């Protein structure tokens, strides 16, 4: 299952990513983050904890062209959106493939 975590270099996203890679058999995690508050060390920590590589796209999600290209490259089964600056998080989960 391909999981795309938007905001994955932040606190919640990085913990979710490491947990998903550890707990879900066959899970692949890709991360979109603009690093406005997250950091690359968080992604390195995910890879260290899970002993798996993560595909990282440094993208501002307001850049719709870049966002579309990343979605086309990843082709996710499941999207977890926890990127935010001032608003509450929005979680989008395809429950048929992401359980
Ligand atoms: N941290 C907590 O204990 C906690 C608890 C409950 C709910 N939440 C909610 O979870 C969400 C995430 O919280 P967090 O603590 O992980 O925050 P965070 O700041 O650590 O992570 C947010 C990530 O989103 C990224 N981001 C922000 N704007 C972006 C953009 N335009 N494009 C791409 N990436 C962007 C940031 O670089 C960062 O890595 C928030 O909505 C927060 O309210 C957090």
Q: What is the pLDDT of residues 15-38, one digit of tens each?
A: 999 999 999 999 999 999 999 999
Q: What domains sit in the chain, N to C, each tagged with a CATH number?
A: 2-97 (3.40.50.720)
pLDDT tens column, 34-85: 999 999 999 999 999 999 999 999 999 999 999 999 999 999 999 999 999 8
- Check pocket membership of 13 for ligand 1, CB cut-off 6 A: yes
Q: What DSSP string runs through 32-64?
A: EE--SS--HHHHHHHHHHHTS--EEEE--TT-H
Q: What is the pLDDT of residue 85?
A: 86
CA Rg, the chain, in Å?
A: 12
Please tell me the distance from the alpha carbon of residue 9 to that of residue 20, in angstroms, as a whole number.
14
Please state, for a pLDDT cut of 70, what percent of the chain lies above it.
Answer: 86
pLDDT for the residue 1: 95
Q: Could you tell me if the CB of 68 is within 6 A of ligand 1?
A: no
Residue 93 pLDDT > 60 = no
């Amino acid at each position: 299952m391909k999981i795309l975590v938007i905001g994955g270099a932040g606190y919640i996203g990085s913990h979710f990513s490491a947990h998903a890679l550890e707990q879900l058999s066959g899970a692949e995690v890709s991360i979109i983050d603009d690093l406005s508050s997250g950091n690359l060390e968080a992604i390195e920590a995910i890879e260290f904890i899970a002993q798996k590589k993560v595909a990282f796209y440094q993208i501002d999600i307001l850049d719709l062209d870049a966002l579309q290209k990343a979605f086309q490259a990843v082709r996710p089964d499941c999207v977890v959106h926890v990127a935010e600056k001032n608003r509450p998080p929005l979680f989008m989960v395809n429950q048929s493939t992401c359980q």
